[in-house]
A and B are shown apart, each in its own frame.
Chain A
Amino acid sequence: MIITYFALFIGTQALAQHTMQGYISDTKTGEKLIGCSVYISSTTEGVTSNNYGFYSIKTNKLPARLVFSYIGYISDTLEFRNSVENSNISLTPKTSDLKEVEIKATGTATSTPRTGVLTIPVQQIKQLPALGGEVDVLKAFQLMPGVQGGTEGTSGLYVRGGTPDQNLVLLDDIPLYYVNHIGGFVSVFDVNAINDIKLIKGGFPARYGGRLSSVVDIRMKTGNSTGLKGEYGIGILASRLFIEGPLSKNKKTKFMFSIRRCNIDLVTRLATRMQSNLEYSAGYTFYDLYSKVTHQFDAKNSLSFSFYNGRDNIFFKQRDRGDVGAVTFFDYKANIKWGNTLASFKWNHQYNSHVFGSLTFAYTHFDYLNGVQYVEKNKTDRKVVEKANSSFVSGVNDLILKKDFDYFVSNIFSLKLGAGYTHHQFNPGMNYYKNVSIDSMAGSPKLQSDEITAYAESDFKLFKDVNANAGIHFNTYFVGGSIFPTLQPRITVNYKMRPNWSVKSSFVYMQQNLHLLSNNGAGLPTDLWVPATSTTSPQYSYLYSLGLYHTLKDNGIELSLEGYYKSLNNQIEFSEGASFFGGTNNWEDKIERNGKGKSYGVEFLAQKEHGRLTGWIGYTLSYNYRKFDNINKGQWFPYKFDRRHYLTLVANYALNENIVFSGDFVFNTGNAITLPDGKYPTINEEFNYGSFANPFPVFTRVYDNTYTYPGRNQSRMPVYHRLDCAVRFIKEKKKGTREWVISVYNVYSRQNPYFVYMEHDKQKQLHLYQISIFPIIPSFTYVRTF
């Protein structure tokens, strides 16, 4: 059928005599606009710009008028009397009080065949209230239906019953493995460095693969081509600097550089040193560094280099100078460090007016280190008398080579084709110990694996008023002599019943060749990335969704109601909470495998994207379960983040050009937890003191209480709710703007449970207590652009 369509539309293309193509960019910054809608005003035929702002549209007759429409920008038109080689256009961003010359377009949600695609403009994300004043792109998506956060304040994403490892987080098409800073309170993404972000929670196009539950597609800025621009900001949690601009006079080369640094250690270093009489210092910090350089060789060729490096460091340093008379002194260091490094080269080439290609070569790396170092030296000659290192290291390295093509065959048929190769090297967790006499290591050995992928994806018109996106994703995974080939079909169909009304349905099959072993609690990245192996098979899922979409004519509010059912297979979990710190066994000996998962629910979204008041209301009713042979007696049990109800309200209101109010409210069912419902004494033969008078000690038989459980995750934490508010005071300066942001997290200081625990009171009665760590938190941030 695809071949038939191919032939048909090649024929259609032959009839189309005139091709109009070019790049769409932002007037002020020169950044390319991704997913911009382009259509011929006299027809309903249209296309969207690709990830590099490129569009190609065909017409049988000239003159033709093209309409360019993009959220947050003033729509514009281009008149074509003759076919031209390149027709680039720049769109101007809207300001809050600008009255747009509206060109009535149908709603985005009803016209595109996609389902489950969430977009929040970066500008809107910047306006949301933020914990500690630090705006976070992932937390913004937690406010959308179908996407939930983990424990309070964290930026892990749980999409439609999935887990954070099942999210494919792409930075310029390259995956990042761990995307959170400590406790997940802030993600690694600096909003200043981002041009575009979207989250796909269903109906995954065939070009994506390798994860089960979502795709977070983030595009870095390429840099301002109009002149040197920048921004710096100082907040309670972090400080940042952002610079962009052209590197050459002809503006063919431009750059973007952004750095963000956590401020917490500045205070803790000082405080701990003062407290310890300069003997030790302790604290925590992180940084994120983004950089991108792009060179445009000519109208058809460009080369870009993207780089990201981020690192977290929890540290403790002690320098003992020794007592008076002591002959030695020692230095003691303990660190927990983790971070990502990503580097990629991308060559974009426009082959002709309707074929666009990119070649990518990239390296991505994540590592986690928990280390202790001890060095003892003589005071006199500084000679090392004792030295010891102990560390736990885990990580993953990927080398990626891929080639992608966008083929704009006709206005109603486009193709995306691509292929790639990835080499993985995993270090699932190794303990090292070294001193003057011992050099040992124990744990899981390093593992290598390889993946070959290829895909073909097409957007096409199936019938009148019926559009589709269909494709196939091929993946072959090689590990330790085993081969796992898969063909993963993907299809989404959109039936436009009436103007502004549509019904969409999708089916996707996804496979993931990685697993993440997650430890409970902590909030540290003490999760191990491990590859699928011959004994721990790749995980896979089926996702079905069906939705009804409507755009209100008068105010452009987009409404959607979407239902889904997802099945997860080959899930793994630690066997009854094994801790891997100091673990000596291979990771495969510590896990339960072949687990199943199922989640289903209904999501409602009403979103207003235009005007002074923007925002959305989201509601999700969902069910989320897991099943393992050796857990919960083999019965289905609720997943930890099985939340029956999840309600969010988000609003931004621009009072005028200088003052913008924003707020969000979240309400959801409490997390599922396992609590005991009974107890009984068990003989625990703890051996107390025995008498020497006996041949060997007399045993004292001790009875300890043990618990009975009603089953895994059968209890609930209290409901969670929270209101955040922010106001931004913006002032135009001679050069750039100045912003003061006052943000209040948890306005009414709701004591939401972070975790619960049991403790005996003085009367030996057992009670359940909760720890809440986020009361009302006001914050101030100063931002200056230049």
Chain B
Amino acid sequence: MLPEGRRQMYFQSILNPDSCIRVFVGQTTGIQDDIQSPVNDGIVFVFINNVFSDTLQNVESGIYESELKPAINDTIRIEVLANTKMTGETIIPTPAVISNPEYKYPTFYDAMSQQNYGTLTFSINDNPEQENYYEILIYNSQFSDYTQEYWYTYESNYWTIYKPDIVIQNEGDWDFIPTTLFFSDELFNGKINIFSFITHASNSSYILLRSISKEYYYFRKYYTRHAFNAQLHTDGIHNLLFAGEPLDMYTNIKGGLGVCAAYSSTTATKIVVIQ
């Protein structure tokens, strides 16, 4: 029998300057319950730079929304009153710019899979004034015969990158099969760093850089390990033998579980392919 733990309150809010402030409030459920337990009678306040700014409205099941959009460098504090008081806070980071994304192909042949790979390089100019955290997203296009449109596939995770840059390796998350590429500026603080990935790309690939808040960085880091060790993406006995000990999820919510985090992004840049 699986154990039954006590119910706990949580809220989730990932903020960015392009979207209205949204908060998802709920209560944990039993491990064998088939339903979620959203909370719709909560009261959700938002404080911007320590000034009360709005009371969020319940718009969907468990989802509360404000018409306000946070601005870059704003400190956002969210307070939720729902059975208990929960508080979370984050800062909207300054967007960072990616430059010179180039893809050289072919540069590497993998004999085992008998596939050619190329090397993707690009630069980030790190702001020396503060600790910075980033997330990189790479997209490849595919043409859909069904919709007669190009569609983008997300291509920046453990399965699609043959060898990540040393900065990613240094994060120590690669063994846990991350679904996004997130990293800190620990190795290149205040400098221009050139990244190098052995991966697939094409003439219609784009790369997008996000600046992420410290909370977002830790949320991704913990989620990656939590998901790997709990086999969230592999039902049953698959991959069981090498899974590690279970890890609690990251939370920066006082009085509950969940996360209050943020990111900022700039426009995606097209990758230049060099044959």
Contacts and interface: CB of A to CB of B under 8 A. Distances in A.
Nearest to B144: A689
A101 interface: no
B242 A697 contact: no
Contact of B259 (A376, A388, A521, A682): A682
A696 B267 contact: yes
Contact of A578 (B109, B137, B172): B172
B244 A714 contact: no
A678 B5 contact: yes
Given A585-B169, A677-B5, A707 B246 contact: yes
A522 interface: yes
Interface string A250-285: 000000000000000000000000000000000000
A577 B2 contact: no
A684 interface: yes
Contact of A710 (B3, B109, B179, B241): B3
Nearest to B3: A677
Contacts of B267: 695-696
Contacts of A712: 245-246
B192 interface: no
B205 to A, nearest CB: 11
A676 interface: yes
A582 interface: yes
Interface in A691-706: 691-693, 695-697, 701, 703-706
Contacts of B24: 681, 683, 703
A768 B249 CA distance: 21
A186 interface: no
A690 B152 contact: yes
Q: How many interface residues does chain A have, given as a range?
A: 35 or more
A688 B244 contact: no
A696 B111 CA distance: 34
B226 A706 contact: yes
Nearest to B9: A680
Given A578-B175, A759-B235, A768-B1, A709 B240 contact: no
A374 B112 CA distance: 7
Interface string B137-172: 101010000000111111000000000000001101
Given A678-B7, A683-B12, A757-B236, A766 B247 contact: no
A703 B249 CA distance: 14
A703 B236 CA distance: 20
Given A708-B8, A757-B237, 6 more contacts: A679-B28, A680-B29, A685-B180, A690-B152, A692-B150, A696-B152
Interface of B: 1-8, 10, 12, 14, 24, 26-34, 36, 108-109, 111-112, 137, 139, 141, 149-154, 169-170, 172, 174-176, 179-180, 206, 208, 223, 225-232, 235-237, 240-249, 257-259, 267-268
14 contacts: A437-B109, A578-B244, A589-B172, A675-B31, A677-B3, A679-B33, A682-B259, A686-B179, A687-B154, A692-B141, A695-B268, A696-B139, A707-B246, A758-B231
Interface of A: 372, 374, 376, 386-388, 390, 435, 437-438, 519-522, 574-585, 589-590, 631, 633, 674-693, 695-697, 701, 703-710, 712, 714-715, 755, 757-760, 763-768, 771
Q: Which 3 residue pairs spanning A and B have beta carbons closest together?
A: A577-B244, A677-B5, A696-B268
